[in-house]
């Protein structure tokens, strides 16, 4: 009975794996973008990897969303104030929206630059806009801006998790860790 309760209140292994994979990919993705020289005329290795891993992030996030529809998140503690519940859910929704929007905006930007998007050399994706397109340039500006918004939201998300772990001590953060709650 205790084990069954524990299973219901934890995230399942697939959700946990996809969550930590997303974080690892994001660290890599920002690292590649920041390490690449600015305003190249054609993509170097770092930018080619940025384009490729960006497509991987898009696919991983689609998988996460599909899985979440099948396995909804375990409920938050009943005594969590309504504004904290709303804040946490709003941040999660915005994270999903940005994680889907950024790759599409980046893909549009690549088209505007005249860069071919060929993830890991496996297949050539179609250009979404013509080279020099003003819409593609606008998408590029949004890509840069929203990547900063994503960073800020990830920061809030981490602060929220730490608040649960060290302030409320209600086990909410541990639900996403691949260990039993009882061992923490």
Let me know the angle formed at the C-alpha of 146 by 108 and 89, rounded to the nearest 5 degrees: 120
Residue 144 or 155 with smaller CB distance to ligand HEM: 144
Contacting positions for ligand HEM (CB under 6 A): 29-30, 33, 36, 38-40, 47, 50-51, 54-55, 57, 99, 102-103, 106-107, 109-110, 113, 117, 143-144, 147, 150
Residue 43 or 164 with smaller CB distance to ligand HEM: 43
For the CB of residue 16, give the shortest distance to ligand HEM in the complex, in Å.
20
18 forms bridges with which residues in the sheet?
none
Q: Phi and psi at residue 45, in whole multiples of 5°?
A: -60, -45
Q: Are 112 and 137 in contact (CB under 8 A)?
A: yes
Q: Are 57 and 99 in contact (CB under 8 A)?
A: yes
Residue 88 or 103 with smaller CB distance to ligand HEM: 103
User: Whole-angstrom Cα distance, residue 73 to residue 112?
Assistant: 39
For the CB of residue 48, give the shortest distance to ligand HEM in the complex, in Å.
10
Residue 157 or 168 with smaller CB distance to ligand HEM: 157
């Amino acid at each position: 009975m205790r084990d069954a309760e524990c299973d219901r209140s934890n995230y399942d292994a697939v959700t946990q794996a996809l969550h930590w994979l997303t974080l690892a990919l994001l660290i890599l993705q920002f690292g590649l973008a920041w390490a690449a020289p600015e305003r190249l005329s054609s993509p170097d290795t770092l930018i080619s990897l940025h384009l490729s891993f960006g497509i991987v992030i898009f696919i991983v996030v689609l998988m996460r969303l599909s899985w979440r529809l099948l396995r909804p998140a375990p409920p938050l503690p009943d005594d969590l104030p309504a504004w904290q519940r709303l804040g946490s859910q709003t941040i999660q929704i915005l994270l999903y929206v940005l994680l889907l929007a950024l790759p599409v905006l980046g893909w549009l930007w690549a088209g505007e630059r005249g860069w071919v998007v060929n993830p890991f050399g496996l297949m050539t994706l179609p250009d979404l806009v013509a080279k020099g397109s003003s819409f593609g340039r606008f998408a590029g500006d949004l890509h840069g801006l929203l990547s900063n918004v994503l960073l800020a939201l990830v920061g809030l998300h981490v602060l929220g998790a730490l608040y649960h772990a060290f302030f409320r001590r209600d086990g909410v953060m541990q639900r996403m860790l691949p260990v039993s709650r009882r061992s923490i």
